[in-house]
Protein backbone atom coordinates (compact mmCIF):
# COMPACT_ATOMS: atom_id res chain seq x y z
CA UNK A 1 0.00 0.00 0.00
CA UNK A 2 1.25 3.49 -0.82
CA UNK A 3 1.72 5.99 1.96
CA UNK A 4 -0.40 9.08 1.40
CA UNK A 5 0.52 12.56 2.59
CA UNK A 6 -2.28 14.81 1.29
CA UNK A 7 -5.75 14.29 -0.23
CA UNK A 8 -5.91 14.55 -4.00
CA UNK A 9 -8.73 15.86 -6.16
CA UNK A 10 -9.67 13.10 -8.55
CA UNK A 11 -12.34 14.43 -10.89
CA UNK A 12 -11.20 13.22 -14.32
CA UNK A 13 -11.40 9.45 -13.82
CA UNK A 14 -14.10 7.11 -12.57
CA UNK A 15 -12.11 4.76 -10.41
CA UNK A 16 -12.61 1.06 -9.72
CA UNK A 17 -13.11 -0.62 -6.40
CA UNK A 18 -10.49 -3.34 -6.48
CA UNK A 19 -6.79 -2.54 -6.26
CA UNK A 20 -4.37 -4.46 -8.45
CA UNK A 21 -0.96 -4.58 -6.84
CA UNK A 22 2.40 -5.12 -8.45
CA UNK A 23 3.05 -8.87 -8.70
CA UNK A 24 5.50 -10.14 -6.07
CA UNK A 25 8.86 -11.49 -7.06
CA UNK A 26 8.91 -15.25 -7.48
CA UNK A 27 11.52 -17.02 -5.40
CA UNK A 28 14.33 -18.64 -7.33
CA UNK A 29 15.44 -21.00 -4.57
CA UNK A 30 13.68 -23.54 -2.39
CA UNK A 31 11.13 -21.89 -0.13
CA UNK A 32 11.81 -22.16 3.60
CA UNK A 33 9.25 -23.97 5.75
CA UNK A 34 9.12 -25.86 9.00
CA UNK A 35 8.66 -29.62 8.49
CA UNK A 36 6.81 -29.71 11.82
CA UNK A 37 4.05 -27.40 10.54
CA UNK A 38 0.56 -28.84 10.17
CA UNK A 39 -1.60 -26.92 7.71
CA UNK A 40 -5.06 -27.81 6.46
CA UNK A 41 -8.24 -26.12 5.22
CA UNK A 42 -11.62 -25.21 6.71
CA UNK A 43 -14.82 -24.10 4.98
CA UNK A 44 -16.90 -21.04 5.89
CA UNK A 45 -18.82 -23.02 8.53
CA UNK A 46 -15.58 -23.91 10.29
CA UNK A 47 -15.69 -27.54 9.21
CA UNK A 48 -12.26 -29.05 8.62
CA UNK A 49 -12.47 -30.28 5.04
CA UNK A 50 -8.76 -31.07 4.60
CA UNK A 51 -6.96 -32.33 7.68
CA UNK A 52 -3.96 -30.27 8.87
CA UNK A 53 -1.01 -32.40 7.80
CA UNK A 54 0.98 -30.34 5.33
CA UNK A 55 4.26 -28.56 5.97
CA UNK A 56 3.15 -25.53 3.96
CA UNK A 57 0.24 -24.56 1.71
CA UNK A 58 -0.83 -21.88 -0.72
CA UNK A 59 -4.42 -20.64 -1.20
CA UNK A 60 -6.80 -22.43 -3.52
CA UNK A 61 -6.81 -21.06 -7.05
CA UNK A 62 -8.82 -22.47 -9.95
CA UNK A 63 -9.85 -25.41 -7.79
CA UNK A 64 -6.37 -26.54 -6.73
CA UNK A 65 -4.04 -25.68 -3.85
CA UNK A 66 -0.30 -26.13 -3.68
CA UNK A 67 0.85 -28.11 -0.62
CA UNK A 68 4.16 -29.38 0.75
CA UNK A 69 4.62 -33.03 1.62
CA UNK A 70 8.09 -34.29 2.57
CA UNK A 71 9.65 -30.97 1.58
CA UNK A 72 8.29 -30.95 -1.98
CA UNK A 73 5.40 -29.04 -3.52
CA UNK A 74 2.46 -30.71 -5.21
CA UNK A 75 -1.27 -29.92 -5.63
CA UNK A 76 -4.52 -31.14 -4.11
CA UNK A 77 -8.17 -30.59 -5.01
CA UNK A 78 -10.92 -29.39 -2.66
CA UNK A 79 -11.54 -32.91 -1.36
CA UNK A 80 -7.90 -33.21 -0.33
CA UNK A 81 -7.10 -35.64 -3.12
CA UNK A 82 -3.55 -35.39 -4.46
CA UNK A 83 -3.83 -34.56 -8.15
CA UNK A 84 -0.20 -33.58 -8.85
CA UNK A 85 2.50 -35.41 -6.94
CA UNK A 86 4.83 -33.37 -4.71
CA UNK A 87 8.12 -33.13 -6.58
CA UNK A 88 8.86 -29.42 -7.08
CA UNK A 89 11.09 -27.05 -5.12
CA UNK A 90 8.93 -23.94 -5.64
CA UNK A 91 5.52 -23.41 -7.27
CA UNK A 92 2.90 -20.75 -7.86
CA UNK A 93 -0.90 -21.05 -7.67
CA UNK A 94 -2.71 -21.93 -10.91
CA UNK A 95 -3.66 -19.05 -13.19
CA UNK A 96 -5.03 -19.31 -16.72
CA UNK A 97 -5.00 -23.12 -16.19
CA UNK A 98 -1.20 -23.19 -15.77
CA UNK A 99 1.15 -23.03 -12.79
CA UNK A 100 4.82 -22.04 -12.73
CA UNK A 101 7.00 -24.72 -11.13
CA UNK A 102 10.70 -24.95 -10.31
CA UNK A 103 12.97 -27.96 -9.98
CA UNK A 104 16.74 -27.91 -9.77
CA UNK A 105 16.80 -24.14 -10.13
CA UNK A 106 14.93 -24.05 -13.46
CA UNK A 107 11.36 -22.98 -14.13
CA UNK A 108 8.60 -24.11 -16.46
CA UNK A 109 4.80 -24.54 -16.46
CA UNK A 110 2.45 -27.44 -15.81
CA UNK A 111 -1.25 -27.89 -16.60
CA UNK A 112 -3.85 -29.22 -14.17
CA UNK A 113 -3.07 -32.82 -15.06
CA UNK A 114 0.52 -32.24 -13.98
CA UNK A 115 1.86 -32.37 -17.53
CA UNK A 116 4.88 -30.16 -18.14
CA UNK A 117 3.61 -28.06 -21.05
CA UNK A 118 6.40 -25.47 -21.05
CA UNK A 119 9.78 -27.00 -20.29
CA UNK A 120 12.02 -26.13 -17.32
CA UNK A 121 14.17 -23.74 -19.33
CA UNK A 122 13.95 -20.52 -17.35
CA UNK A 123 15.81 -18.96 -14.43
CA UNK A 124 12.61 -17.47 -13.03
CA UNK A 125 8.93 -17.37 -13.96
CA UNK A 126 5.75 -15.57 -12.99
CA UNK A 127 2.09 -16.64 -13.17
CA UNK A 128 0.09 -16.36 -16.38
CA UNK A 129 -2.43 -13.55 -16.75
CA UNK A 130 -4.53 -12.93 -19.86
CA UNK A 131 -2.62 -15.81 -21.51
CA UNK A 132 0.84 -14.25 -21.05
CA UNK A 133 3.55 -14.72 -18.42
CA UNK A 134 6.90 -13.21 -17.55
CA UNK A 135 10.00 -15.43 -17.68
CA UNK A 136 13.66 -14.72 -16.99
CA UNK A 137 16.73 -15.99 -18.83
CA UNK A 138 19.94 -14.67 -17.32
CA UNK A 139 19.39 -10.99 -16.56
CA UNK A 140 16.67 -10.55 -19.18
CA UNK A 141 12.91 -10.85 -18.81
CA UNK A 142 10.42 -11.65 -21.57
CA UNK A 143 6.70 -12.21 -21.98
CA UNK A 144 5.70 -15.58 -23.43
CA UNK A 145 2.36 -16.99 -24.56
CA UNK A 146 0.86 -20.32 -23.50
CA UNK A 147 2.78 -22.11 -26.24
CA UNK A 148 6.01 -20.85 -24.71
CA UNK A 149 6.73 -18.44 -27.55
CA UNK A 150 8.02 -14.94 -26.67
CA UNK A 151 5.98 -11.91 -27.74
CA UNK A 152 8.41 -9.34 -26.31
CA UNK A 153 11.83 -9.56 -24.65
CA UNK A 154 14.87 -7.63 -23.47
CA UNK A 155 13.44 -6.18 -20.24
CA UNK A 156 14.95 -5.69 -16.79
CA UNK A 157 11.71 -6.92 -15.22
CA UNK A 158 8.06 -7.46 -16.07
CA UNK A 159 4.78 -7.37 -14.19
CA UNK A 160 1.67 -9.03 -15.55
CA UNK A 161 -0.98 -8.45 -18.21
CA UNK A 162 -4.27 -6.77 -17.28
CA UNK A 163 -6.74 -4.90 -19.50
CA UNK A 164 -4.69 -5.96 -22.51
CA UNK A 165 -1.50 -4.30 -21.25
CA UNK A 166 1.65 -5.76 -19.71
CA UNK A 167 3.96 -3.78 -17.44
CA UNK A 168 7.67 -3.88 -18.25
CA UNK A 169 10.82 -2.27 -16.88
CA UNK A 170 13.29 -0.94 -19.42
CA UNK A 171 16.38 1.23 -19.24
CA UNK A 172 14.37 4.35 -18.35
CA UNK A 173 11.77 2.84 -16.01
CA UNK A 174 8.39 1.11 -16.20
CA UNK A 175 6.05 1.22 -19.16
CA UNK A 176 3.34 -0.92 -20.79
CA UNK A 177 3.06 -3.02 -23.95
CA UNK A 178 0.08 -4.60 -25.69
CA UNK A 179 -0.30 -8.27 -26.61
CA UNK A 180 1.72 -7.80 -29.81
CA UNK A 181 4.68 -6.39 -27.89
CA UNK A 182 4.04 -2.81 -29.09
CA UNK A 183 4.86 -0.11 -26.52
CA UNK A 184 1.59 1.66 -25.63
CA UNK A 185 2.79 3.66 -22.61
CA UNK A 186 6.43 4.67 -22.66
CA UNK A 187 8.85 3.69 -19.87
CA UNK A 188 8.67 6.75 -17.64
CA UNK A 189 7.70 5.47 -14.19
CA UNK A 190 9.86 4.34 -11.28
CA UNK A 191 7.06 2.04 -10.11
CA UNK A 192 3.87 0.74 -11.69
CA UNK A 193 1.07 -1.63 -10.74
CA UNK A 194 -1.02 -3.66 -13.12
CA UNK A 195 -4.34 -2.15 -14.18
CA UNK A 196 -7.42 -2.98 -12.14
CA UNK A 197 -10.75 -4.22 -13.51
CA UNK A 198 -11.63 -0.67 -14.52
CA UNK A 199 -8.28 -0.37 -16.31
CA UNK A 200 -6.69 2.08 -13.87
CA UNK A 201 -3.14 1.59 -12.55
CA UNK A 202 -1.11 3.22 -9.79
CA UNK A 203 2.25 4.68 -10.83
CA UNK A 204 5.13 6.67 -9.40
CA UNK A 205 6.87 9.13 -11.71
CA UNK A 206 10.65 9.30 -11.98
CA UNK A 207 10.67 12.51 -9.92
CA UNK A 208 8.74 10.90 -7.07
CA UNK A 209 5.12 11.90 -7.77
CA UNK A 210 2.31 9.39 -7.45
CA UNK A 211 -0.67 9.11 -9.74
CA UNK A 212 -3.22 7.03 -11.58
CA UNK A 213 -3.17 6.20 -15.28
CA UNK A 214 -5.69 4.70 -17.64
CA UNK A 215 -4.99 2.44 -20.63
CA UNK A 216 -3.84 5.41 -22.69
CA UNK A 217 -1.40 6.58 -20.03
CA UNK A 218 -3.43 9.65 -19.01
CA UNK A 219 -2.26 10.53 -15.51
CA UNK A 220 -3.94 12.46 -12.72
CA UNK A 221 -1.84 13.86 -9.91
CA UNK A 222 -1.40 17.22 -8.22
CA UNK A 223 2.06 17.92 -6.88
CA UNK A 224 5.03 16.19 -5.37
CA UNK A 225 4.33 13.82 -2.46
CA UNK A 226 0.64 13.41 -3.20
CA UNK A 227 -0.49 9.83 -3.71
CA UNK A 228 -3.92 8.92 -5.05
CA UNK A 229 -4.94 5.30 -4.62
CA UNK A 230 -7.51 3.02 -6.13
CA UNK A 231 -10.90 3.14 -4.42
CA UNK A 232 -13.05 0.61 -2.59
CA UNK A 233 -16.63 1.42 -1.59
CA UNK A 234 -15.97 4.93 -2.94
CA UNK A 235 -13.21 5.63 -0.43
CA UNK A 236 -9.42 5.68 -0.57
CA UNK A 237 -7.05 5.05 2.32
CA UNK A 238 -4.73 8.00 2.92
CA UNK A 239 -1.94 8.78 5.36
CA UNK A 240 -1.19 12.20 6.77
CA UNK A 241 1.29 12.98 9.54
CA UNK A 242 1.63 9.34 10.49
CA UNK A 243 -2.09 8.66 10.82
CA UNK A 244 -4.49 6.99 8.40
CA UNK A 245 -7.99 7.93 7.27
CA UNK A 246 -10.28 7.77 4.24
CA UNK A 247 -11.12 10.33 1.55
CA UNK A 248 -13.78 10.35 -1.16
CA UNK A 249 -13.16 10.97 -4.87
CA UNK A 250 -13.15 14.74 -4.36
CA UNK A 251 -10.28 14.46 -1.87
CA UNK A 252 -12.50 15.28 1.10
CA UNK A 253 -11.87 13.39 4.33
CA UNK A 254 -14.92 11.26 5.08
CA UNK A 255 -13.23 9.37 7.91
CA UNK A 256 -10.60 11.46 9.77
CA UNK A 257 -6.96 10.33 9.79
CA UNK A 258 -6.84 9.03 13.36
CA UNK A 259 -5.76 5.42 12.87
CA UNK A 260 -2.28 3.93 13.25
CA UNK A 261 -2.93 1.83 10.13
CA UNK A 262 -5.83 1.09 7.80
CA UNK A 263 -6.70 -1.19 4.90
CA UNK A 264 -9.10 -0.64 2.02
CA UNK A 265 -12.76 -1.50 2.40
CA UNK A 266 -13.83 -5.05 1.68
CA UNK A 267 -17.43 -6.15 2.04
CA UNK A 268 -18.43 -2.79 3.54
CA UNK A 269 -15.88 -2.87 6.34
CA UNK A 270 -12.29 -1.64 6.60
CA UNK A 271 -9.64 -2.99 8.97
CA UNK A 272 -8.10 -0.26 11.16
CA UNK A 273 -5.69 -0.18 14.10
CA UNK A 274 -6.05 2.05 17.15
CA UNK A 275 -4.21 2.20 20.48
CA UNK A 276 -6.59 -0.50 21.73
CA UNK A 277 -6.01 -2.96 18.88
CA UNK A 278 -7.53 -3.88 15.54
CA UNK A 279 -11.17 -3.25 14.65
CA UNK A 280 -13.39 -2.43 11.68
CA UNK A 281 -15.13 0.75 10.50
CA UNK A 282 -18.00 1.18 8.08
CA UNK A 283 -17.98 3.72 5.19
CA UNK A 284 -19.52 6.37 7.46
CA UNK A 285 -16.62 6.12 9.87
CA UNK A 286 -18.54 4.35 12.62
CA UNK A 287 -16.62 1.64 14.47
CA UNK A 288 -18.72 -1.37 13.46
CA UNK A 289 -16.50 -3.88 15.30
CA UNK A 290 -14.65 -2.55 18.32
CA UNK A 291 -10.80 -2.47 18.18
CA UNK A 292 -10.09 -5.27 20.61
CA UNK A 293 -8.03 -7.74 18.61
CA UNK A 294 -4.20 -8.00 18.93
CA UNK A 295 -4.09 -8.88 15.22
CA UNK A 296 -6.62 -9.22 12.42
CA UNK A 297 -7.11 -9.44 8.65
CA UNK A 298 -9.52 -7.87 6.19
CA UNK A 299 -12.84 -9.54 5.40
CA UNK A 300 -13.06 -12.07 2.57
CA UNK A 301 -16.12 -14.14 1.69
CA UNK A 302 -17.93 -12.51 4.62
CA UNK A 303 -15.42 -13.64 7.25
CA UNK A 304 -12.29 -12.14 8.77
CA UNK A 305 -9.47 -13.93 10.58
CA UNK A 306 -8.74 -12.42 14.00
CA UNK A 307 -6.30 -13.27 16.77
CA UNK A 308 -7.75 -13.36 20.24
CA UNK A 309 -5.82 -12.34 23.34
CA UNK A 310 -4.91 -15.97 24.07
CA UNK A 311 -2.88 -15.91 20.85
CA UNK A 312 -5.15 -18.19 18.85
CA UNK A 313 -6.83 -17.34 15.56
CA UNK A 314 -10.49 -17.71 14.61
CA UNK A 315 -12.97 -16.00 12.29
CA UNK A 316 -15.65 -13.37 12.87
CA UNK A 317 -18.65 -12.35 10.78
CA UNK A 318 -19.53 -8.70 9.89
CA UNK A 319 -21.35 -8.28 13.21
CA UNK A 320 -18.18 -9.15 15.11
CA UNK A 321 -19.50 -12.52 16.25
CA UNK A 322 -16.90 -15.27 16.54
CA UNK A 323 -18.30 -17.89 14.16
CA UNK A 324 -15.24 -20.12 13.81
CA UNK A 325 -13.60 -20.99 17.11
CA UNK A 326 -10.27 -19.35 17.91
CA UNK A 327 -8.10 -22.45 18.13
CA UNK A 328 -5.57 -22.11 15.34
CA UNK A 329 -1.91 -21.12 15.51
CA UNK A 330 -2.32 -19.25 12.21
CA UNK A 331 -5.12 -18.53 9.78
CA UNK A 332 -5.40 -17.03 6.31
CA UNK A 333 -8.19 -15.26 4.37
CA UNK A 334 -10.77 -17.36 2.55
CA UNK A 335 -10.15 -18.07 -1.12
CA UNK A 336 -12.67 -20.03 -3.17
CA UNK A 337 -14.62 -20.57 0.10
CA UNK A 338 -11.74 -22.35 1.83
CA UNK A 339 -9.13 -20.96 4.23
CA UNK A 340 -5.79 -22.42 5.25
CA UNK A 341 -5.32 -22.90 9.00
CA UNK A 342 -2.41 -24.15 11.07
CA UNK A 343 -2.60 -26.25 14.23
CA UNK A 344 0.11 -26.59 16.86
pLDDT score recorded for residue 230: 67
Kindly report the average pLDDT of the chain as a whole number. Answer: 87
pLDDT of residue 226 exceeding 70: no
Q: pLDDT at residue 19 above 60? A: no
Q: Are 163 and 171 in contact (CB under 8 A)?
A: no
- Give helix then strand counts, H and E, for the chain: 0, 33
Instruction: State how many domains the chain has.
Output: 1
Instruction: Tell me the whole-structure pTM to 2 decimals.
Output: 0.85
Give the pLDDT mean for 15-41. 54
Provide the edge-to-edge strand list for the sheet that holds 48-54. 48-54, 38-43, 338-343, 330-331
For the ranges 130-144, 209-223, 267-281, the lowest mean pLDDT is seen at: 209-223
Comparison of pLDDT for 32 and 234, the residue scoring more: 234
DSSP structure string for 84-111 = EEEEESEE---BTTBEEEEETTEEEEE-
Residue 266's pLDDT band (cuts 50, 70, 90): very high
- Would you say residue 85 lies in a domain? no
187 is a domain residue: no
| 212: in domain | no
Task: Label residue 30 by pLDDT band (50, 70, 90).
Answer: low
- For 119-176, how does the pLDDT look when each residue is reduced to its tens digit (9 = 90+)? 999 999 999 999 999 999 999 999 999 999 999 999 999 999 999 999 999 999 999 9
Q: Out of 14-23, 121-130, 265-274, pick the least confident.
A: 14-23
Band of pLDDT at residue 284, cut at 50, 70 and 90: very high
The residue among 4 and 179 whose pLDDT is bigger is 179
The pLDDT of residue 4 is 31
Q: Residue 18 has what pLDDT?
A: 30
241 vs 291, more confident = 291
Q: Over 90: is that where the pLDDT of 249 sits?
A: no
Per-residue model confidence (pLDDT) at position 200: 83
Share of the chain above pLDDT 70, in %: 87
Domain span at residue 326? Answer: 260-343
Q: Which residues of 241-256 are buried (b: 16+ CB within 10 A; e: fewer)?
A: eeebbbbbbebeeebe
37-41, 104-108, 113-117, 217-221: which has the minimum mean pLDDT?
217-221
Cβ distance 8 to 226 under 8 Å? Answer: yes
Q: How confident is the model at residue 233 (pLDDT cuts 50, 70, 90)?
A: confident
CATH number of domain containing 280: 2.40.10.480
Please, where are the H alpha helices in 147-213? none
DSSP per position, 210-261: EEEE-TT--EE--STT------BTTBEEEEETTEEEEE-TTS-EEEEEEESE
Does residue 63 surpass a pLDDT of 50? yes
267 within domain boundaries:
yes
User: Is 281 a member of any domain?
Assistant: yes
**Confidence bin at 268 (pLDDT 50/70/90):** very high
Amino acid sequence: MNRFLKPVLLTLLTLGTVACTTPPKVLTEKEPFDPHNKWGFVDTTGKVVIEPKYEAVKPFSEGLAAVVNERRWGYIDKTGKEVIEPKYDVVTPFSNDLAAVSKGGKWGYIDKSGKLVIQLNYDNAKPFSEDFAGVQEGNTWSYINKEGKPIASGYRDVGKFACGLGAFKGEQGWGFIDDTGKVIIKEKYSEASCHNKDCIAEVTTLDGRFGLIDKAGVIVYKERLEAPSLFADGLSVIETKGRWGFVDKTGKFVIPATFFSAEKFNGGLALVRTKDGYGYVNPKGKMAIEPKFPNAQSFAHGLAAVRIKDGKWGYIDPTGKLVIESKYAAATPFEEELAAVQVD
